[in-house]
Amino acid sequence: MTTPYLLIPVLIILLILYGISLLFSQLEVYNRLTHRKIWNYSLLVTFLTTGILGILMAIQINYKIEVPWTEKVLKVHVNFGIAMTIIAFFHLLWHLRYYLPFKAFSGKSPRPGTRIQKQVNIPGFLLPFMVGFTAVAFQTLVIRELLGLFSGNEFILSIIFFLWLTLTGAGAFAGTRTNTPAEGTRLSKKTIYLILALASMPVALIPLLYFLKSLFFSPGIEAGPAGLSGFLFLILLPFCFLNGFSFTYSVKLLRPSGMTAGGAYAWESVGSASSGFLMTLAILLGIFSGYPGRWAERLIHPNEEIIQTYSGVSGRLTVTRTGEQVNIYENGVLTHSSGNPLTNEELVHFTLCSHPDPRDILVIGGTCTGITAELMKYDCHRVDCIEPDPQVIRTAKKLNLLAEGYPNINYLRINPFHHLISDTATYDVVIVMLAGPQNLNLNRYYASSFFALARKHLGHSGMVTVMLPGTANYVSGNALDMLGPIYSAARKSFGQVALLPGENNYLMASDEKWTIDILHTLQERKIQTTFIRPGYFDENLLIARKSEMEQLLNQVFTANEEFRPKAFLGMINWWIGQFPLRLLWIFGAAALFIILLTLVGSKPESNAMFLLGAGASGLQIILLFLVQITAGTLYLFAGCLPAIFMTGLATGSWCFLRKRVGKILSSDTFIWLLFSFSGLLLLVISEWLAHPSGMTGLKTVLIFLISFIAAFSNGAVFARLASQPGDHANPGRIYAYDLMGAALGAIVFPLALVPLFGIKLAIGVISATGIVSLGLTKLVRKRS
C-alpha cells in the first residue's frame, strides 16, 4: 500500500459488497431483513474493534506502557474506524426518515415476497445470453490487462482462471438458493437491472483495476503470488460472483416458460461464442489498441511522462520519458532505457569479437533497444531484425524507435520461426535478445529445436548468442534450473557452448572453437565503446567467471524443449523464489478445499460433471499453451479460443436437447468418450503441433477443432445430466460443480501435472477424466 490508511480501498470494497448485498436482497436471494442483519453485525464488529483498540491505546499512552505493537494497533484502529463510519452512513440512509421527516421519505416498503414485479417486454433468453456475452468480453479484456500488468506468463494465467472459475462457481451455488418467483418468458425490471449491472461491470472494472493496482502496489513493485492472488480475488469477485449467480438464477427464472437448463446453457454458450468472436475481431482491428488509455499508464508509471502506449495482438508496448531518458516497457516489464548501453555493448561485442569476420547478422528481439546502432560499428553487410511479435516493429517505427539511416538494416515483419523455416538466408551470427523463458512462447527461443533450426542458417564459424537473465555474484539452484536446460539444449546442436556472465548471462554456441579476446579485437577494429573498454571491463575476470559457470553447468540437465519446458519452469521457480512462499502448498490446499466443498455429500452425477469440468478446463489451458507455442501469441486468442469452446458447448447442449445426434451418437458412452477422443487426438498430433515446420494456419484450425470437440462433449454431458428426472438433476448445482471442477483443473494441470510430468502426460490424464467420469455415471445407473 502506498498510503498508511486504507481510506479508498475500504470505501471501494464496502461499496461493492453493499451493492452486491443490496442486489441479492432485491433479487430475494435472502430477504431485506437478512441484508440489514449482515450490515448490523458488520457495524457492531467494526464499532467494537475500533472502540476496544482505542481504549487500549488510551491506557497505553496514559500509563506509558511500552508495547511493540502500538503502530500496528493504531493502523487497525483507524482502518476499522473508516469501515465503521462508512457502514454507519449506510444505516443513516436506511433511517433518513427518522432524521429528516420530509414527506418524500415517508411511505411503507412492501413486505418481503409480496413485491409485484413489473414485467418488461424483453425476451427471457436475454439473461443467459448476456451472462455468456459479458463473461467472455470481460475475460478477454481482463486477461489482456492483467497479463500486461503482472507479467504475461502461464502461471499467472492459471491463477486468473482458478480464481475466475471458483468465484463463478460460488456465485452459481448462491444462485441455486434463490426463492425468486418464476417470471415466465418476459423479464421483470429488476432482472433488467441485473443485466445492466453485468453489462456495465466490464467497462467499470477495467479502469478500477488500474486504480487499485496503483493503490495496492507501490510504484515499480513486482507483485508476488500471494499479493497477486489477493488482488485478483478482489478484482474478479464482483463480476464473477454475479455472473455465476445470474446463470443459475436465470435457469430458475425461465423454467415456467419451458426453457430447460440445457436451453439456458445453450443460450449462455451462444452469448459467449458471439462475444468471443466479436472481441477477437475487435482486437484484430485494433479497436482496443488505445484502451484503457494514457491515464491508466500514468497510474502505473507515476513519475514518468507517457509518450505512447499501444496494445497489440501480443501485448502492450509503452514508451515513457524521464528527463531525457526514454524507457520502453513490454507488458509492464522494462526492456530498455536509453543512456544505458551496457547490455547492448556486452551482447554485441562479446559475440562479434568472438567471430573472425561477422558480416551477416540476424537479431531476434531488441529492436527498440538501439542494439542495431551498436552492430553498425562493425562492417556488416546485412542486419536482419525480427521480433517474436511483428507488430512491435510496426509500433516501434511509428514511435521513431528504430535506428534510421542504415540501408543494410532490414526490419522483417514476420515471425522468426517462419523466417528461419521458409528463408534460406545464411548468417554469420544469430543474436537472440529477449527477456528470458518467461512464458511458453519465449521458451521456444531457448529450446533445442530453435538451436537446431538456427544452426542450419549459420555459415562457417557461425555463432548463436542468446541473452539470459543475469545472476550477479551467485548462481542459485533455481537459476541453474533455468540456465542448465538451455545449455543442454544448445549442446545438442553445437560442439562448443559457453556461458559468459556479465550484466546478463550470454550463452554462446558454435561448432568452431573460439577464444575470448574482446578488448584486443575492439582495439584492432578501432571500435569505440562506453563500457567494454579498459578501466570498466575486466576481461580476465570474465574468463574466470566463465570457468566457474562451466563447472556449475557440468552436470546433467534435461534439455529444454517446447513440450518439456524445463527452462520456463526453472524461470517460474526462480521468480517464486523471490517471495517467501511455496505456492504449491497454498494451491494444493485450495484444491483440496474445492474438492471437499463440492464432493462431500454430493451426488455421483455432480461428481461426474465435476471431473469432466476439471478435464475440460485443463484441456483448454493446455490448448492455450499450445497456441503460444504454435502461433506465438496468446493475446489474440484470449477471446477466440474461449469463443470456440463456448460454441462447442452450445452446439453439444442444443444437439442433445433437440435429439439431433442420432441413436448411436446420443449414447452415454459416445458423448463421454468423445471428450477422451479429443484428448487422445491432441496427444497424437502434439509433437507435430509444436514442431516449427510452419503450417501455422492448419495447426491453429486443428487446435480449434479439438477445443470444439471437447466442448461439444461437455455441453452434451451437461444437458444429459441436467435433464434427468428426480432430485439428482438440479441443473444449477450441476452447473456449479462443472465450474468448480474447471477451477480445480485450471490449477492442477498447469501448476502440478505439466511441471512434474510434461505436457504429454498431462494430456493423457485429461483424456482419462472422460473415462472416469463415464464410469461414475454408469455406477449410479447400476445401483439404481
Partner 1 sequence: MNKREFLKCLTITGASACIASTGAIGNELISAMDDLNTDNQGEREASHYVVTPRGVKCLICPNECTLKEGELSDCHNRIARDGKLFTMAYGNPCAVHIDPVEKKPLLHFYPASLSFSLATAGCNFACLNCQNWEISQTSPTKTRNYQATPVQLVDQAIRENCKSIAYTYSEPITFFEYMLDTATLAKSRGIKNIMVSNGYINPEPLLELCKVIDAANIDLKTFDEEVHLKLTAGNLKPVLETLKTFRKEGVWLEITNLIVPSWTDNFDVIARMCDWLAQEGFNDYPLHFSRFHPQHKLTRLPVTPLQSLTRAKEIALKAGLHYVYVGNVPGIGGEDTYCHSCKVLLVKRNGFEIEQNLIVNGRCPKCQTPVPGRW
Mask: binding to partner 1, 327-356, rule CB under 8 A, as x and -?
x-x--xxx--x-xx----------------
Q: Does 586 bind partner 1 (CB under 8 A)?
A: yes
> Is residue 104 part of the contact set for partner 1 (CB under 8 A)?
no
Candidate ranges 55-63, 221-229, 644-652, 773-781; the one touching partner 1 (CB under 8 A): 221-229
Judged by beta carbon, residue 142 or residue 300, the one nearer partner 1 is 300
Q: From CA 584, how far away is CA 765, in angstroms rounded? A: 19
775 forms part of the interface with partner 1 (CB under 8 A): no
Note whether 483 and 446 are within 8 A (CB): no
Count CB atoms within 10 A of the CB of residue 662.
10
C-alpha distances out from residue 217 to 110, 211, 302, 372, Å: 45, 10, 12, 35
Q: Is 477 in the site for partner 1 (CB under 8 A)?
A: yes
What secondary structure does DSSP assign to 689-711, as a single string?
HHS--S-HHHHHHHHHHHHHHHH
665 lies in the binding site for partner 1 (CB under 8 A): no
Is the CA virtual torsion 667, 671, 672, 674 positive or negative?
A: positive
Q: Does 222 bind partner 1 (CB under 8 A)?
A: yes
Amino acid (1-letter code) at residue 618: G
The answer to whether 75 and 57 are in contact (CB under 8 A) is no
Q: What is the largest CA-CA distance in the chain?
A: 95
Q: Which stretch binds partner 1 (CB under 8 A): 258-266, 299-307, 453-461, 641-649?
A: 299-307
**Segment interacting with partner 1, rule: CB under 8 A, options 5-13, 88-96, 214-222, 710-718:** 214-222
How distant is the alpha carbon of residue 116 from its chain centre? 44
Neighbouring CB atoms inside 10 A of 207's CB total 16
**Cβ closest to partner 1, residue 28 vs residue 668:** 28
Residue with Cβ nearer partner 1 (404 or 538)? 538
Asked if residues 711 and 644 have their Cβ atoms less than 8 Å apart, the reply is yes
Helices (H), ranges, 261-380 = 261-284, 294-300, 342-352, 371-375
> Given the complex with partner 1, which of 109 and 528 has the nearer CB atom?
528
Asked if residue 597 binds partner 1 (CB under 8 A), the reply is yes
Q: How far is the CB of 290 from partner 1 (least distance, A)?
A: 21
- In this chain, which stretch among 393-401, 573-581, 707-715, 775-783 interacts with partner 1, using CB under 8 A? 573-581
Q: Of 54-62, 96-104, 279-287, 588-596, which part binds partner 1 (CB under 8 A)?
A: 588-596
Toward partner 1, which CB reaches closer, 472 or 664?
472
Residue 581 lies near partner 1 (rule: CB under 8 A): yes
Helix (H, G, I), strand (E, B) or coil at 186: strand
**Residue-wise DSSP of 515-538:** ---HHHHHHHTT---SSSSTTT--
Choose, by CB under 8 A, the member of 110, 114, 324, 782 that binds partner 1: 324
Binding residue for partner 1, selected from 93, 285, 589, 664, defined by CB under 8 A: 589
**Helix 225-254 and helix 731-748, axial crossing angle in degrees, nearest 10:** 160
- Determine how many CB atoms are found less than 10 A away from the CB of residue 49: 17
User: Can residue 405 be called a binding residue for partner 1 (CB under 8 A)?
Assistant: no
How far is Cα 690 from Cα 702, in angstroms, rounded to an integer? 12
Q: Which residues contact 159 (CB under 8 A, 6 or more apart)?
A: 225, 228, 229, 232
The Cα-based distances of 470 to 272, 474, 483, 502 in angstroms read 43, 10, 10, 7
Q: Is 756 in the site for partner 1 (CB under 8 A)?
A: no
Please, which residue, 356 or 534, has the CB nearer to partner 1? 534
Q: Which three cell numbers mark 68? A: 511493540
555 binds partner 1, rule: CB under 8 A: no
Stretch that binds partner 1, among 469-477, 720-728, 765-773, 776-784 (CB under 8 A): 469-477
Q: Quick check: 320 binds partner 1 (CB under 8 A)? A: yes
Q: Candidates 356-364, 579-587, 714-722, 732-740 — which segment interacts with partner 1 by CB under 8 A?
A: 579-587
Taking CB under 8 A as the binding criterion, the range among 112-120, 565-573, 582-590, 699-707 that sits at the site for partner 1 is 582-590
Task: Measure the CA–CA gap between 161 and 157, rounded to whole angstroms.
Answer: 6
The distance of closest approach from Cβ of residue 588 to partner 1 in the complex, given in angstroms and rounded to an integer, is 6
From candidates 19, 113, 123, 219, binder to partner 1 by CB under 8 A: 219
Distance CA 343, CA 262 (A): 58
Question: Are the C-beta atoms of 758 and 563 separated by less than 8 Å?
Answer: yes
Please identify which residue in 115, 577, 665, 778 interacts with partner 1, judged by CB under 8 A: 577
In which element (H, E) is residue 166 found? helix 154-175
Beta-bridge mates of residue 507: 466, 499
> Is 302 one of the binding residues for partner 1 (CB under 8 A)?
yes
Residue with cell 508509471: 301
Element (H, E) at 122: strand 119-123
User: Number of residues in contact with partner 1, rule: CB under 8 A?
Assistant: 58
- One of 106, 109, 121, 303 touching partner 1 (CB under 8 A): 303
Residues 515-544 that bind partner 1 (CB under 8 A): 530-531, 533-538, 541
In whole angstroms, the minimum distance from the beta carbon of 37 to partner 1 comes to 15
Which one of 34, 40, 200, 322 is in contact with partner 1 (CB under 8 A)?
322
Site membership for partner 1, residue 177 (CB under 8 A): yes
Q: Binding mask 435-464 vs partner 1 (x if CB under 8 A, - otherwise)?
A: ------------------------------
Distance CA 704, CA 712 (A): 12
Q: Please, what's the b/e burial string for 120-141 (b: 16 or more CB within 10 A of its CB; e: otherwise)?
A: eebebbbbbbbbbbbbbbbbbb
Site residues (CB under 8 A) for partner 1, limited to 122-151: none
Of the pair 120, 592, the CB lying nearest partner 1 is at 592
Applying CB under 8 A, the span of 123-131, 386-394, 473-481, 604-612 interacting with partner 1 comes to 473-481
CB of 543: closest distance to partner 1 in angstroms? 13
Confirm or reject binding of residue 580 to partner 1 (CB under 8 A).
Answer: yes
List the alpha helices (DSSP H) in 6-69: 7-26, 32-62
Q: How far is the CB of 27 from partner 1 (least distance, A)?
A: 16
Residue 221 within binding range of partner 1, rule CB under 8 A = yes
Half-sphere exposure of 411 (CA within 13 A, CB side): 22
Q: Which stretch binds partner 1 (CB under 8 A): 368-376, 472-480, 558-566, 715-723?
A: 472-480
How far is it, in rounded angstroms, from Cα 125 to Cα 375? 62
Question: Is the CB of residue 435 less than 8 Å from the CB of residue 330?
Answer: yes
Query: Measured between alpha carbons, how far is 511 from 308 in angstroms, rounded to an integer?
Result: 43
Comparing CB distances to partner 1, the nearer of 329 and 656 is 329
Smaller CB separation from partner 1, 227 or 459: 227
Q: How near is the Cβ of 119 to partner 1 at its closest, in Å? A: 28
Q: Which stretch binds partner 1 (CB under 8 A): 58-66, 108-116, 325-333, 363-371?
A: 325-333
> Interface with partner 1 by CB under 8 A: which range of 47-55, 234-242, 376-384, 583-591?
583-591
| Other Cβ atoms closer than 10 A to 494 | 21
Residues linked to residue 310 through DSSP beta bridges, in sequence order = 317
By CB under 8 A, which span of 98-106, 308-316, 320-328, 512-520 interacts with partner 1? 320-328
List the one residue out of 604, 712, 726, 710 whose CA is nearest residue 666. Answer: 712
Residue 277, burial from CB neighbour count under 10 angstroms (0-12, 13-18, 19+) = middle
Nearer to partner 1, 473 or 784 (CB): 473
Q: Measure the CA dihedral 560/562/564/566, to 10°.
A: 40
What is the DSSP secondary structure assignment for residue 725, as one 8-state letter?
A: S
Footprint of partner 1 (CB under 8 A): 4, 177, 218-222, 224, 300, 302-304, 320, 322-325, 327, 329, 332-334, 337, 339-340, 471-474, 476-479, 530-531, 533-538, 541, 577-578, 580-582, 585-586, 588-590, 592-593, 596-597, 600-601
